[in-house]
């Protein structure tokens, strides 16, 4: 019979009680009407579009949940689901409490914001009326934060303790993601980050190849390394073994949902109703299509067969890659950027695997590596006028490319560094990895006393 | 071999022939150009937003279908699906024929509308041009009606005759839902309901915690009581047994779809492009997040493990609870309202179970009980200006709270009362519950001569 | 052990290399700034709505993937998924390279366009600024093209070689679909097709009952005929056998997703923010609802039970049928058109089956036959003012009906003719159908060396 140790339960309850007290304690904080800056009012139609885009991005949570569930084993499906829904739930609350302020609050240093916690001081204009734009901007940003958080769950899947994962999830949404975000996007709202003015030209990451995807990918890399590979992933001689997912149709559904959600992610990053959003929709779609084709061909050559997992990840690779340059390139460049993303993702998955990093769903390659590729692609392909670009353009010259590289490196150092420490600390305190017995039996049973498919026989593997 | 008795088939054919004749007969009705009131024309952008919101709400049908399928057994999955798709299909047609007129037609009594059936007289303005706003308003309202109807299918799952369910579905969409709706929302269009002016302050239910969700929940309660529990739900000594769902990933997908759809449900209830919709998106999202966390903690304490079913229902509980107050509270209140909803839903599920009410998916608790909680929360938390609210505010005073209570009680009496009679009448005439043999074998086989998963072995339970 | 023959791999690689070279070679093409016509600039809000509608239509790809997967056998699920994601990916690229130009490029003949390939010459206005409307129009059109392509995958499911399918997919998106499209819709952008002025009144197909759905359906018919039925579909005496799908809940999810997507497909075909889109949303929803009911009743009478597959296809039948007339009929007509579509689809499925045509998911009936019915329904029900129509109206008289018939016939001759030749040529060269052994074992194993459900035992059938 299963029973969660009473101590673990008590620990968790305490943790949550702390979280809730934290919320309640804001009565005080709230009362202090901060002297926040006033922002440009946005038109109602911009609010509408930004909210609709946020809804599409929110739906990506369902896409991640389906992709990660489908690409892993049936015995861990409930655990995957639980991590995903908690990512967005805890993420929403702590991004409200802490993250948004760190990312978009007023900053004098360029390293993080220092007001706007609990949206305190940001909800009203000076004349006392509601600052609607803050709400629209917030809902758009919170679903971005949740996206970064949830990317990690795939990389650390099938072996991480549930309550350890929740601690990670709180820290990335409250702290790690917002700080890098403030470097690159702080001036979108109140502040202004150091990366935004780097080398004079400034780091360009329009919709977040680095800010969202690489952050998620490198966090996942840190987790996968600290955790070590799943039991059975490597044979005794070190040869990597294939551990196929248990539900490819649902993984494919997840990819389609993510592709749909990206039409909010990229075009929505305009936060403005205008023609640009149509251009971005086109480049986004073409890059996804080309990424699919690029991965299909690469896998076909590598394995001698059109591999489904790689092809589906190819679509995501194309999407991640176009996320930074989507607003600054034309359709031909988008096809190239996506296609190369699709090639890269296959090679990257094989490379990490050969390095001994076990990333069950390929999240490090899709989001980390292709996010870096997309960010650099801005330096290679960006052009001031859309459509004139049909191949290498190199619009910003070496300086722009260097600025992009600085951003990519900064993203890796910050995210991988802090997350590596975080996972090590979790591992040394409350414990990060489940026992071997639990891993063999499945986390659904061990962590949740449940089975995802009570009416079916799940084969042991 | 299976065969449906010829008599049942004939009965059904007759039923449907009647429905169709009813449609055809409206040639006559139609010809009478009713002397309908003329409504304020809405701008094109409001029409656009209202329609987009309606599309999101429509998608909630998919969410309900997945949640209810996932939380029940594989042997009844086809039946669940069929009930869901017929709810929206029959619901659309009868709401067009009867329901919309009862809910939004001209009323002198305040108890129900009396014109607008088949939209007759509501399609043209006085100058003969098309009244586009009526169409936009109708598509938004019809998907609300379908939501109320489909909530019930979860509560009566796994034991109800298919054709009996269809009769219920017609009656709730044509009559029970619209009448309560006219009391609370009648003046949105033509009429004006008695609840809208109760105690001077009027009953406030912005997006339908009571009007949609409690109606669905209490109807489900009536059905569950009249039907009695599923075979095996209670041991011989009366102890409730857990009957876990058969597909948790698909249930989780359903929850994500519902959460997405709620961004149409609540912000869309503005039916106007304006800053409010952003505020409502924020309160909706925070309440859902807090509901998830609230249910997770409560279940963790109660059961010693983080339970997936309860946590997923917690998200829905938060969403149902914020539906009434979403436009009148700030983010902090939204978190509290949602969190409490998440706590309530777990306790409520256990309570109904201990009372002997078998509600396979928790619909009565999620929609009925949390709908009531959300409606009362308007009285506790509502404030004229957003964001100033960080906890109990009690903006409307005791009178407002009392008005909310009157609405909650009226909703229960009307819906539970009429539905109890309806299910009793169905039970006494065409029969409500399948035979024990059919229930054991599964309704998919007995009602539809099908299996949801023809390639897999479904374990008997 | 599985291994793909090296020759087939080489062939495929060559094919893809050719495709990619083709992209790269456009450097030259691109440089020639074509003297393209300048189009009416569209407002930002029209661009927004057209893009949002395109996103909804894109999501239909997920719907098709789920419907087709759910209605076929588990052993072929990966193959279905791969065909679907490649349809939209390859389709996006070749429609960009070739298809859009053929469909909407300048034409002097009325039979096909002759510029705009690679969007060359269509991206800038004369003053050098970006022609945003082209991008919005293109993203809307490309998802329509992908819809037509993907309809076919259901009709040819469970027996088609993967690389043969990719060849088909390229040809329909680059050539077959755009040419018929140019006949009916060419003047939407630059050209003007011969059907648009036929008989003086012009062929009317507002959102594509013929242009998209019948094209997909008749292409599927050609494929199904050339392929022949699946092993086991007909008993030795020629009696059709039922081969039920393996996942009805996921098929139902697909239907709900398609229904949602249709709210982009039909209302979005306005490409303009205006009241019409609300009317079209209403007619679309009512027709889908009535199609569901129509198919339910017909199947109930025919089989003595409420059949899930037929009922779900009934919803799609209603949606396909209303696609052409959606903007020109009122609610009552929409109900009739959808209801008749639902009746037709059941009879049509049985008829094709009895003719020896094996269409695993009913795509020929849903899209081909009901597409034709919807196109003709324009001639029977169209009216200048909405809502005045409650039954047969026959607004355009015999001439309009004849124009519709000409379009329907032209669509069949062109699509079925070219696709029949195409599938015959593929069959005679690279081969169209998998071996009997592979078909028995499942295409997932034979074509992709994979299983869709690695944790479950798939029963042989």
Residues C197, C396: Cα–Cα separation, whole Å: 14
* Predicted TM-score (pTM) of this structure: 0.93
Instruction: Please report the pLDDT score of residue C363 as a whole number.
Output: 98
DSSP state of A456: S
Residue B9 clears pLDDT 70, i.e. is over it: no
- Do residues C139 and A278 make contact, with C-beta atoms less than 8 angstroms apart? yes
DSSP state of C75: G
Of B322, C13, B374, whose CA–CA distance to A296 is shortest? C13
- Do residues A294 and C89 make contact, with C-beta atoms less than 8 angstroms apart? no
Which chain A residues contact residue B392 at CB under 8 A?
none
B393 pLDDT band, cuts 50/70/90, is low
Pick from A89, A93, A173 the residue to mutate for testing the B interface (most B CBs within 10 Å). Answer: A89
Which chain A residues contact residue B304 at CB under 8 A?
3-4, 6, 9
- Chain A residue closest in CA terms to B291: A89
Distance from CA of C449 to the nearest CA of B (A): 19
B197 pLDDT band, cuts 50/70/90, is confident
Return the structure tokens found at C346: 């059941």
- Do residues B309 and B277 make contact, with C-beta atoms less than 8 angstroms apart? no
- Do residues B229 and B356 make contact, with C-beta atoms less than 8 angstroms apart? yes
For helices A331-354 and A370-381, angle between their N-to-C axes, nearest 10 degrees: 150
- Do residues A269 and A207 make contact, with C-beta atoms less than 8 angstroms apart? yes
DSSP state of B269: G
Tell if the CB–CB gap between C457 and A461 is shorter than 8 Å.
no
For helices B248-265 and C248-265, angle between their N-to-C axes, nearest 10 degrees: 20
Which chain C residues contact residue A250 at CB under 8 A?
250
Phi, psi of A234 (to 5 degrees): -120, 135
- Chain B residue closest in CA terms to C302: B9
Residues B193, B197: Cα–Cα separation, whole Å: 8
Residue B26 clears pLDDT 60, i.e. is over it: no
Question: Which of A49, A263, A279 has the CB atom closest to C55's CB atom?
Answer: A263
For helices B331-354 and A6-24, angle between their N-to-C axes, nearest 10 degrees: 140
- Chain A residue closest in CA terms to C63: A253
Question: Which of C263, C301, C330 has the CB atom closest to B55's CB atom?
Answer: C263
Beta bridge partners of C433: C160
Of B26, A170, B126, whose CA–CA distance to C330 is shortest? B26
Of C242, C251, C318, C347, whose CA–CA distance to B78 is shortest? C251
Mean pLDDT calculated for residue range A348-353: 98
Phi, psi of B95 (to 5 degrees): -65, -35
Cβ-based neighbours of C417, under 8 Å, separated by 6 or more: none
Residue B6 clears pLDDT 70, i.e. is over it: no
Q: Residue A459: exposed, middle, or buried by beta-carbon count in 10 A (0-12, 13-18, 19+)? A: middle
Instruction: Please report the pLDDT score of residue B110 as a whole number.
Output: 83
Pick from A77, A246, A387, A393 the residue to mutate for testing the C interface (most C CBs within 10 Å). Answer: A387
Phi, psi of A314 (to 5 degrees): -60, -40
- Do residues B13 and C296 make contact, with C-beta atoms less than 8 angstroms apart? no
Tell if the CB–CB gap between C450 and A335 is shorter than 8 Å.
no
Residues C13, A302: Cα–Cα separation, whole Å: 11
Instruction: Please report the pLDDT score of residue C28 as a whole number.
Output: 36
Mean pLDDT calculated for residue range C35-47: 64
Q: What percent of chain A has pLDDT over 90?
A: 78
C38 vs C33, C83, C107, C127, C270, CA distance in Å? 13, 37, 14, 10, 20
Question: Which of A65, A93, A454 has the CB atom closest to B246's CB atom?
Answer: A454
Instruction: Please report the pLDDT score of residue A396 as a whole number.
Output: 67
Instruction: Please report the pLDDT score of residue B390 as a whole number.
Output: 43
Residues B26, B96: Cα–Cα separation, whole Å: 12
- Chain C residue closest in CA terms to B246: C249
Q: What percent of chain C has pLDDT over 70?
A: 88
Residues B184, B187: Cα–Cα separation, whole Å: 8
Look at residue B433 and give its three-state secondary structure.
strand
- Do residues B177 and B148 make contact, with C-beta atoms less than 8 angstroms apart? yes
Return the structure tokens found at A46: 């911009």
Residue B17 clears pLDDT 50, i.e. is over it: yes
Distance from CA of B158 to the nearest CA of A (A): 14
Which chain A residues contact residue B255 at CB under 8 A?
85
Lowest model confidence (mean pLDDT) among A174-178, B69-73, C377-381: C377-381
Instruction: Please report the pLDDT score of residue B389 as a whole number.
Output: 40
Instruction: Please report the pLDDT score of residue A131 as a whole number.
Output: 87
Residues A171, A190: Cα–Cα separation, whole Å: 23
Q: What average pLDDT does chain B have?
A: 90
Pick from B256, B261, B391, B451 the residue to mutate for testing the A interface (most A CBs within 10 Å). Answer: B256
Residues B168, A138: Cα–Cα separation, whole Å: 42
Q: Which chains touch B (3 or more CB pairs under 8 A)?
A: A, C
Q: pLDDT tens digits, residue range C176-193?
A: 999 999 999 987 777 689
Residues C282, C384: Cα–Cα separation, whole Å: 17
Total residues found in chain A within this entry:
461
H-type helices in A156-203, by residue range? 162-171, 177-185
In which residue are the tokens 């031909």 written?
Answer: A332
Lowest model confidence (mean pLDDT) among A141-145, A198-202, A375-379, C3-7: C3-7
Q: What percent of chain B has pLDDT over 90?
A: 78
Distance from CA of B413 to the nearest CA of C (A): 31
Tell if the CB–CB gap between B275 and A162 is shorter than 8 Å.
no
Residue C40 clears pLDDT 80, i.e. is over it: no
Q: Which chains touch A (3 or more CB pairs under 8 A)?
A: B, C
Mean pLDDT calculated for residue range A379-383: 85
| Number of neighbours of residue A383 by Cβ within 10 angstroms | 18
- Do residues B239 and A447 make contact, with C-beta atoms less than 8 angstroms apart? no
Instruction: Please report the pLDDT score of residue A14 as a whole number.
Output: 58
Residue A388 clears pLDDT 50, i.e. is over it: no
Query: Can you list the domains of chain A with their CATH numbers?
Result: 41-448 (1.10.3430.10)
Which region, left, alpha or beta, applies to residue C59 given φ > 0 means left and ψ of -120 to 50 means alpha? Answer: alpha
Mean pLDDT calculated for residue range B144-164: 97
Phi, psi of C234 (to 5 degrees): -120, 135
A21 pLDDT band, cuts 50/70/90, is low
Tell if the CB–CB gap between A282 and C139 is shorter than 8 Å.
yes
Mean pLDDT calculated for residue range B331-354: 96
Distance from CA of B436 to the nearest CA of A (A): 20
Residues B155, B72: Cα–Cα separation, whole Å: 11
Lowest model confidence (mean pLDDT) among A187-201, C69-83, C416-430: A187-201
Tell if the CB–CB gap between C455 and A301 is shorter than 8 Å.
no
Residue B10 clears pLDDT 80, i.e. is over it: no
Q: What percent of chain A has pLDDT over 70?
A: 88
Phi, psi of C228 (to 5 degrees): 80, 165
Both ends of chain A: CA-CA distance in Å?
21
- The secondary structure of chain A in percent helix, strand, coil, rounded to multiples of 5, reads 70, 0, 30
DSSP state of C459: P
Residues A13, A15: Cα–Cα separation, whole Å: 5
- Do residues C56 and C261 make contact, with C-beta atoms less than 8 angstroms apart? yes
Tell if the CB–CB gap between A90 and B293 is shorter than 8 Å.
yes
Pick from C39, C40, C85 the residue to mutate for testing the A interface (most A CBs within 10 Å). Answer: C85
Residues A458, B456: Cα–Cα separation, whole Å: 11
Of A214, A76, A158, A93, whose CA–CA distance to A434 is shortest? A158
Distance from CA of C456 to the nearest CA of B (A): 8
Residues C156, C149: Cα–Cα separation, whole Å: 12
| Number of neighbours of residue C396 by Cβ within 10 angstroms | 22
Tell if the CB–CB gap between C451 and A331 is shorter than 8 Å.
no
Instruction: Please report the pLDDT score of residue A130 as a whole number.
Output: 83
Cβ-based neighbours of A157, under 8 Å, separated by 6 or more: A68, A72, A76, A79, A80, A360, A361
Tell if the CB–CB gap between C390 and B89 is shorter than 8 Å.
no
Chain centroid, CA C194 distance in Å: 22
Tell if the CB–CB gap between A456 and C454 is shorter than 8 Å.
no
H-type helices in A156-247, by residue range? 162-171, 177-185, 215-227
Residue B326 clears pLDDT 50, i.e. is over it: yes
Q: pLDDT tens digits, residue range A211-269?
A: 999 999 999 999 999 999 999 999 999 999 999 999 999 999 999 999 999 999 999 99
Total residues found in chain B within this entry:
461
DSSP states of C11-51 as a string? HHHHHHHHHHHHHHTHHHHHHS---PPP-----HHHHHHHH
Residue C38 clears pLDDT 70, i.e. is over it: no
Return the structure tokens found at A339: 């296609």
Distance from CA of B275 to the nearest CA of A (A): 5
Q: What average pLDDT does chain A have?
A: 90
Look at residue C160 and give its three-state secondary structure.
strand
Note whether ipTM > 0.85 here.
Answer: yes
Residues A202, A402: Cα–Cα separation, whole Å: 10
- Chain A residue closest in CA terms to C70: A249
Tell if the CB–CB gap between B300 and A9 is shorter than 8 Å.
yes
Residues A249, A418: Cα–Cα separation, whole Å: 36
Instruction: Please report the pLDDT score of residue C6 as a whole number.
Output: 56
Of C38, C168, C186, C5, whose CA–CA distance to C108 is shortest? C186
- Do residues B90 and B166 make contact, with C-beta atoms less than 8 angstroms apart? yes
Taking the CA atoms of B280, B283, B286 and B289 in sequence, report the sign of the dihedral they define.
negative
Which chain B residues contact residue C453 at CB under 8 A?
456
**Rg value, chain A, Cα:** 22
Q: pLDDT tens digits, residue range B256-265?
A: 999 999 999 9
Beta bridge partners of C130: C124
**B418 against B399, higher pLDDT:** B418
Both ends of chain B: CA-CA distance in Å?
21
């Amino acid at each position: 019979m299963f029973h969660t140790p009473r101590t673990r339960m008590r620990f968790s309850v305490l943790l949550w009680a702390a979280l809730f007290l934290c919320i309640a304690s804001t009565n005080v904080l709230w009362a202090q009407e901060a002297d926040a800056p006033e922002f440009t009012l946005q038109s109602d139609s911009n609010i509408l579009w930004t909210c609709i885009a946020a809804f599409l991005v929110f739906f990506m949570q369902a896409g991640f949940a389906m992709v990660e569930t489908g690409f892993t084993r049936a015995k861990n499906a409930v655990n995957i689901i639980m991590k995903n829904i908690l990512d967005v739930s805890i993420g929403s609350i702590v991004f409200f409490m802490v993250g948004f302020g760190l990312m978009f609050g007023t900053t004098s240093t360029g390293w993080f914001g220092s007001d706007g916690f609990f949206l305190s001081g940001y909800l009203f204009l000076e004349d006392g009326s509601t600052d609607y734009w803050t709400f629209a901007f917030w809902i758009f940003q919170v679903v971005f934060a949740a996206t970064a958080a949830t990317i990690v769950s795939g990389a650390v899947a099938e072996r991480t303790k549930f309550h350890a994962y929740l601690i990670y999830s709180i820290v990335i949404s409250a702290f790690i993601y917002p700080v890098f975000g403030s470097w690159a996007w702080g001036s979108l709202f109140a502040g202004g980050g150091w990366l935004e003015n780097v080398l004079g030209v400034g780091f360009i990451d329009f919709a977040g190849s680095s800010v969202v995807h690489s952050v998620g990918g490198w966090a996942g890399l840190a987790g996968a390394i600290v955790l070590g590979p799943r039991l059975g992933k490597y044979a005794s001689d070190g040869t990597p073994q294939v551990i196929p997912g248990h539900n490819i149709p649902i993984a494919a559904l997840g990819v389609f949902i993510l592709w749909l959600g990206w039409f909010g992610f990229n075009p929505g990053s305009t936060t403005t109703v205008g023609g640009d959003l149509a251009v971005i929709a086109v480049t986004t779609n073409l890059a996804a299509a080309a990424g699919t084709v690029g991965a299909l061909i690469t896998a076909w050559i590598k394995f001698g067969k059109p591999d489904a997992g790689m092809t589906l990840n190819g679509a995501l690779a194309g999407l991640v890659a176009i996320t930074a340059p989507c607003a600054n390139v034309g359709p031909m460049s988008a096809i190239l950027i996506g296609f190369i993303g699709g090639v890269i993702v296959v090679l990257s998955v094989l490379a990490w695997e050969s390095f001994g990093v076990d990333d069950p769903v390929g999240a490090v390659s899709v989001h980390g590596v292709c996010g870096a590729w997309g960010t650099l692609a801005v330096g290679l392909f960006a052009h001031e006028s859309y459509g004139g670009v049909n191949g290498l353009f190199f619009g910003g010259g070496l300086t722009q490319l260097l600025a992009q590289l600085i951003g990519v490196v900064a993203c890796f150092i910050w995210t991988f560094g802090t997350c590596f420490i975080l996972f090590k600390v979790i591992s040394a305190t409350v414990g990060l990895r489940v026992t071997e017995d639990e891993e063999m039996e499945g986390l659904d049973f061990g962590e949740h006393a449940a089975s995802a498919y009570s009416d079916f026989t799940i084969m042991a593997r």
